[in-house]
């Protein structure tokens, strides 16, 4: 009986290594399709206002019509300004005559240098005043700054308008801008010229656009990057609309793609079992993009690491693991 008890208490020989499928980490470019939401904006948009506080005497534009750059849209009362301009013209004519007279008298010393300088300065001042008054008269005509379509008129003839009074909106919809945010981690993957597609509610057509500009800073509130694209064939699209954007990120090279089943819970979030010298080590990792069957590892593994992808519930740190088979990215 004593012999039997001693035999039972003797340590057994070491257990056989656990068998698991191993994935060999490799740097392989991959494609990823990202979806996000955006807002449609006019190529150019402005709400027209008057630079002067005056009475509106004539409306030259029809609501909803197309206008060309430079077309006259509104006319303000300029009677007072024109009268002041005529007064300056009269003074300018007299000053010009005096200037010609002193030009002839100065060489003969018939007048002093001070009288000559005063006459010259008076002419220069009046010329400047005429230019200023002419600009004021010009501002009584409100013209289209660019070609486009006007919206709903906000004023009527006879109304007194000021720089705070909206007159009408002007939209250039010959092309449509699409503004959409991207998460911070994709900021290095999007470049100007990159193509994308988008759809809008109530329209079954798929529209195409290309990235034109990226905001040079990350929004600190949303941790996202604002991207602006341009659609040059916006038939049926209106500014302010909601767009569902699909952007293909081509050949991402940051990090490594491993099978999704390789991830296991870690005290710090997510981890993988790296098999080194035949033993398992739980390595905490930072993950990025997820696809249907793969996940991007940004930090925590390196090229050539062997990662276990099966039998994960039985693997423990320090346990010996034997490769049943080794898989690599195709």
DSSP SS3 for 128: helix
Instruction: Please return the burial class of 323, using the count of CB atoms within 10 Å of its CB with bins 0-12, 13-18 and 19+.
Output: middle
Q: Tell me: pLDDT of 36 over 70.
A: yes
Instruction: Please return the burial class of 263, using the count of CB atoms within 10 Å of its CB with bins 0-12, 13-18 and 19+.
Output: buried
Range 32-43+173-252 has CATH code 2.60.120.380: no
What is the structure's pLDDT at 117? 86
Helix (H) or strand (E) holding 6: helix 2-9
Q: Tell me: pLDDT of 184 over 50.
A: yes
Mean pLDDT for 324-328 is: 70
Q: Give the start-to-end residue ranges of the domains of the chain.
A: 18-30+254-328, 32-43+173-252, 49-76+141-168, 79-138
Q: Taking the model in full, what pTM does it have?
A: 0.69
Q: Tell me: pLDDT of 134 over 60.
A: yes
CATH code, 49-76+141-168: 2.40.50.100
- Please provide the average confidence, as pLDDT, over all residues in the chain: 88
Fold of 18-30+254-328: 2.40.420
- Give the C-alpha separation, 320 to 279, whole Å: 4
Contact between 125 and 98 (Cβ < 8 Å): no
What is the structure's pLDDT at 7? 37
Mean pLDDT for 178-192 is: 89
DSSP SS3 for 129: helix
Q: Find, among 200, 241, 240, the residue nearest to 45 by Cα.
A: 240
- Give the C-alpha separation, 4 to 7, whole Å: 5
What is the structure's pLDDT at 195? 94
Band the pLDDT of 5: cuts 50, 70, 90: very low
Mean pLDDT for 245-268 is: 82
pLDDT digits (tens, 9 = 90+) for 98-109: 888 888 888 878
Contact between 102 and 95 (Cβ < 8 Å): no
Structure token digits, residue 275: 């098999």
């Amino acid at each position: 009986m004593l012999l039997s008890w001693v035999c039972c208490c003797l340590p057994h020989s070491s257990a056989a290594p656990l068998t698991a499928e191993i994935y060999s980490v490799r740097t392989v470019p991959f494609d990823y399709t990202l979806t996000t939401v955006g807002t449609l904006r006019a190529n150019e948009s402005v709400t027209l206002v008057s630079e002067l506080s005056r009475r509106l005497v004539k409306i030259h534009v029809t609501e909803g019509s197309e206008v060309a750059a430079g077309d006259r849209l509104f006319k303000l009362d300029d009677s007072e300004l024109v009268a002041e301009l005529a007064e300056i013209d009269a003074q300018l004519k007299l000053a010009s005559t005096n200037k010609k007279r002193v030009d002839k008298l100065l060489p003969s010393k018939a007048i002093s240098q001070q009288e000559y300088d005063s006459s010259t300065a008076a002419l220069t001042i009046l010329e400047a005043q005429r230019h200023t008054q002419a600009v004021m008269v010009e501002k009584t005509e409100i013209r289209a700054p660019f070609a486009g379509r006007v919206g709903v008129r906000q004023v009527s003839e006879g109304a007194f308008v000021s720089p705070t009074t909206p007159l009408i909106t002007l939209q250039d919809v010959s092309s449509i801008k699409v503004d959409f945010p991207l998460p911070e981690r994709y900021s290095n993957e999007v470049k100007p010229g990159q193509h994308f597609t988008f759809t809008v509610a109530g329209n079954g057509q798929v529209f195409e656009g290309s990235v034109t500009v990226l905001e040079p800073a990350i929004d600190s509130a949303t941790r996202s990057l604002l991207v602006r694209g341009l659609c040059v064939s916006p038939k049926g699209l209106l500014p302010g609309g909601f767009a569902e954007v699909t952007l293909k990120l081509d050949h991402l090279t940051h990090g490594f793609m491993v099978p999704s089943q390789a991830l296991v819970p870690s005290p710090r979030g997510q981890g993988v079992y790296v098999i080194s010298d035949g033993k398992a080590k739980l390595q905490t990792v930072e993950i990025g993009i997820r696809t249907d069957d793969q996940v991007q590892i940004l930090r925590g593994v390196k090229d050539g690491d062997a990662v276990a992808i099966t039998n994960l519930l039985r693997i423990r740190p320090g346990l010996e693991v034997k490769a049943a088979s080794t898989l690599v990215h195709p």
